[in-house]
Amino acid sequence: MDPGEEKRLSVIPISYYLVLSAILFGLGAVGVVFKRNIITILMSIELMLNAVNLAFVAFARAHGQIDGLVFVFFVIVVAAAEAAVGLAIVIMITQNRQSLNVERINLLKF
Protein backbone atom coordinates (compact mmCIF):
# COMPACT_ATOMS: atom_id res chain seq x y z
CA MET A 1 0.00 0.00 0.00
CA ASP A 2 1.41 3.33 -1.01
CA PRO A 3 1.59 6.20 1.48
CA GLY A 4 -1.03 8.30 -0.34
CA GLU A 5 -3.65 5.64 -0.12
CA GLU A 6 -2.85 5.00 3.51
CA LYS A 7 -3.35 8.66 4.28
CA ARG A 8 -6.64 8.71 2.46
CA LEU A 9 -7.92 5.69 4.37
CA SER A 10 -6.89 7.09 7.70
CA VAL A 11 -9.10 10.04 7.10
CA ILE A 12 -12.11 7.90 7.93
CA PRO A 13 -12.26 7.85 11.75
CA ILE A 14 -12.44 4.51 13.56
CA SER A 15 -15.81 5.32 15.08
CA TYR A 16 -17.42 4.99 11.63
CA TYR A 17 -16.21 1.42 11.36
CA LEU A 18 -17.38 0.68 14.88
CA VAL A 19 -20.83 2.14 14.37
CA LEU A 20 -21.22 0.15 11.15
CA SER A 21 -20.02 -2.93 12.99
CA ALA A 22 -22.52 -2.34 15.81
CA ILE A 23 -25.39 -1.86 13.35
CA LEU A 24 -24.51 -5.09 11.53
CA PHE A 25 -24.16 -6.95 14.81
CA GLY A 26 -27.49 -5.58 16.02
CA LEU A 27 -29.21 -6.65 12.82
CA GLY A 28 -27.68 -10.09 13.16
CA ALA A 29 -28.78 -10.37 16.79
CA VAL A 30 -32.33 -9.25 15.96
CA GLY A 31 -32.38 -11.79 13.17
CA VAL A 32 -31.28 -14.62 15.47
CA VAL A 33 -33.87 -13.69 18.08
CA PHE A 34 -36.89 -12.97 15.91
CA LYS A 35 -36.54 -15.11 12.83
CA ARG A 36 -37.95 -18.61 12.77
CA ASN A 37 -36.40 -19.86 9.60
CA ILE A 38 -33.29 -21.83 10.52
CA ILE A 39 -31.45 -20.72 7.35
CA THR A 40 -32.10 -17.09 8.18
CA ILE A 41 -30.82 -17.63 11.71
CA LEU A 42 -27.61 -19.15 10.36
CA MET A 43 -27.23 -16.21 8.01
CA SER A 44 -27.82 -13.77 10.87
CA ILE A 45 -25.05 -15.50 12.84
CA GLU A 46 -22.74 -15.07 9.84
CA LEU A 47 -23.71 -11.41 9.83
CA MET A 48 -22.78 -11.05 13.51
CA LEU A 49 -19.45 -12.80 12.91
CA ASN A 50 -18.65 -10.47 10.06
CA ALA A 51 -19.64 -7.45 12.15
CA VAL A 52 -17.07 -8.57 14.68
CA ASN A 53 -14.54 -9.15 11.90
CA LEU A 54 -15.06 -5.60 10.75
CA ALA A 55 -14.42 -4.30 14.27
CA PHE A 56 -11.25 -6.44 14.52
CA VAL A 57 -9.89 -5.16 11.24
CA ALA A 58 -10.70 -1.56 12.13
CA PHE A 59 -8.89 -1.84 15.47
CA ALA A 60 -5.94 -3.64 13.89
CA ARG A 61 -5.65 -0.84 11.38
CA ALA A 62 -6.07 1.92 13.97
CA HIS A 63 -3.48 0.52 16.36
CA GLY A 64 -1.17 -0.72 13.61
CA GLN A 65 -1.08 -4.19 15.11
CA ILE A 66 -1.44 -7.52 13.38
CA ASP A 67 -3.25 -9.42 16.16
CA GLY A 68 -6.70 -8.32 15.04
CA LEU A 69 -6.03 -9.54 11.49
CA VAL A 70 -4.97 -12.93 12.80
CA PHE A 71 -8.21 -13.19 14.75
CA VAL A 72 -10.18 -12.37 11.65
CA PHE A 73 -8.61 -15.31 9.85
CA PHE A 74 -9.56 -17.58 12.70
CA VAL A 75 -13.11 -16.28 12.69
CA ILE A 76 -13.43 -16.81 8.94
CA VAL A 77 -12.15 -20.37 9.22
CA VAL A 78 -14.48 -21.16 12.09
CA ALA A 79 -17.39 -19.54 10.27
CA ALA A 80 -16.69 -21.64 7.20
CA ALA A 81 -16.60 -24.80 9.28
CA GLU A 82 -19.75 -23.77 11.08
CA ALA A 83 -21.53 -23.10 7.80
CA ALA A 84 -20.51 -26.48 6.44
CA VAL A 85 -21.58 -28.42 9.55
CA GLY A 86 -24.62 -26.24 10.21
CA LEU A 87 -25.97 -26.51 6.68
CA ALA A 88 -25.45 -30.27 6.72
CA ILE A 89 -27.51 -30.46 9.90
CA VAL A 90 -30.15 -28.22 8.38
CA ILE A 91 -30.42 -30.52 5.36
CA MET A 92 -30.82 -33.55 7.58
CA ILE A 93 -33.47 -31.83 9.72
CA THR A 94 -35.36 -30.65 6.68
CA GLN A 95 -35.36 -34.15 5.24
CA ASN A 96 -36.72 -35.53 8.50
CA ARG A 97 -39.26 -32.89 9.48
CA GLN A 98 -40.18 -31.25 6.19
CA SER A 99 -39.86 -27.86 7.89
CA LEU A 100 -37.35 -25.10 8.47
CA ASN A 101 -39.21 -23.65 11.44
CA VAL A 102 -37.07 -23.79 14.64
CA GLU A 103 -40.18 -23.85 16.82
CA ARG A 104 -41.01 -27.25 15.53
CA ILE A 105 -37.60 -28.73 16.13
CA ASN A 106 -38.27 -29.49 19.78
CA LEU A 107 -37.70 -33.18 20.28
CA LEU A 108 -35.14 -32.65 23.06
CA LYS A 109 -37.24 -30.16 24.89
CA PHE A 110 -38.55 -31.23 28.24
Residue closer to other proteins by CB (options 75, 105) is 105
Which residues are within 8 A (CB) of 51 and not within 5 positions of it... i.e. 6 or more apart? 21, 22, 23, 24, 25, 28
> Which region among 3-11, 31-39, 55-63, 87-95 touches other proteins (by CB under 8 A)?
31-39
Amino acid sitting at position 68? G
**How far is the C-alpha of 100 from the C-alpha of 26, rounded, in Å?**
23
Contact positions with other proteins (CB under 8 A) in 10-29: 29
Of the candidate residues 16, 34, 73, 74, the single one contacting other proteins (CB under 8 A): 34
102 binds other proteins (CB under 8 A): yes
Which residue type does 17 have? Y
Q: Does 39 bind other proteins (CB under 8 A)?
A: no
